[in-house]
A = this chain, B = another copy of it.
């Protein structure tokens, strides 16, 4: 459901056509989240129906017109609401990145809380993995098959560790933003 919020964020940074969104899907959001153009057109129409965005139609009387989408205040409100809502979703990591982007455009919205929540759950996961590791793979006479299974587990451990390291460096940036307020300092 949150592809809509990714699109809103992207449109806030720069009003675009559906095609434009599809080709770049925003510098930085597109790197971890790709969407097909059909998906994007569908969601844009839905968001237009919901009053979150408007399509400014250019071009003459041709049947198919170039539509440049822009975010309305209702869309901004929805985005704010979403950022402030704990996700609980399976890919809350990706969602967090979108929330950070949204904060970068709109100012402090409460993404810090989400970062802290996620940090706690990643720490918990890491602890679980390590427990499994010491239970199942602590011996030094592992068969080749066991070594492979261990490597699979290591992937999980490394991912969690690297995520936590990232979060630790990201927190101060978020707090700095929230301390300064939505507008740039002068």
List residues of chain A with CB under 8 Å of any chain B CB: 27-29, 31-32, 34, 90, 97, 100-101, 103-105, 129, 132, 136, 143-149, 151-156, 158-159, 161-163, 165-166, 169-170, 173-174, 176-177, 180, 184
Contacts and interface: CB of A to CB of B under 8 A. Distances in A.
A143 B32 CA distance: 23
A57 to B, nearest CB: 31
B101 A144 contact: no
What is the predominant secondary structure among interface residues of chain A facing chain B? helix
Which 10 pairs between the two chains have the least Cβ-Cβ distance? Answer: A162-B162, A104-B148, A104-B145, A144-B177, A151-B170, A147-B173, A158-B162, A28-B152, A97-B152, A158-B166
A165 B158 CA distance: 9
